[in-house]
């Protein structure tokens, strides 16, 4: 189970913002997942718990994502999560980044 399904980021150019999502194992056995990298890296990157993970029953992992835009604008991307859970073989977390120059 993955929550939330969408991460929203707001950062000025050449600064950073972070957000996170949680992957929870609600089953009775180990959950094996793979957290894929965003296609647009940069400005999006995974700071922790990317790649292959094993999550024991009734526990969770928090994946931290960073948005580091170099210029003004909007960037949309996604992270694909695959697992050996028969009900949730593939999940997607949408990434929505917006960068504006700071007001003076």
Residue 12, pLDDT > 90, answer: yes
Q: Give pLDDT, residue 104.
A: 64
Residue 97, pLDDT > 70, answer: yes
The CATH code for residues 2-96 is: 2.60.40.10
* Domain residue extents for the chain: 2-96
The band of 102, judged by pLDDT with boundaries at 50, 70 and 90, is confident
Alpha-carbon radius of gyration of the chain: 15
17 forms beta bridges with 67
Average pLDDT for residues 2-13, to the nearest whole number? 97
pLDDT tens for each residue of 18-41: 999 999 999 999 999 999 999 988
Say how far residue 17 (Cα) sits from the centre of its chain.
13
pLDDT tens for each residue of 39-93: 988 999 999 999 999 999 999 999 999 999 999 999 999 999 999 998 889 999 9
Cα distance between residue 19 and residue 28, in whole Å = 29
Q: Is 70 helix (H, G, I), strand (E, B) or coil?
A: coil
CA distances from 16 to 45, 47, 50 (A): 11, 12, 18
């Amino acid at each position: 189970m993955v929550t939330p399904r969408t991460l929203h980021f707001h950062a000025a150019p050449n600064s950073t913002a972070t957000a996170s999502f949680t992957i929870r194992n609600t089953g009775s056995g180990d959950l094996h997942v793979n957290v894929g990298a965003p296609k647009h890296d940069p400005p999006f990157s995974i700071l922790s718990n990317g790649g292959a993970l094993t999550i024991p029953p009734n526990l969770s992992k928090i994946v931290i994502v960073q948005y580091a835009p170099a210029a003004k604008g909007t960037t949309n991307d996604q992270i694909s999560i695959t697992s050996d859970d028969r009900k949730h073989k593939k999940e997607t977390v949408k990434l929505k980044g917006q960068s504006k120059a700071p007001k003076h």
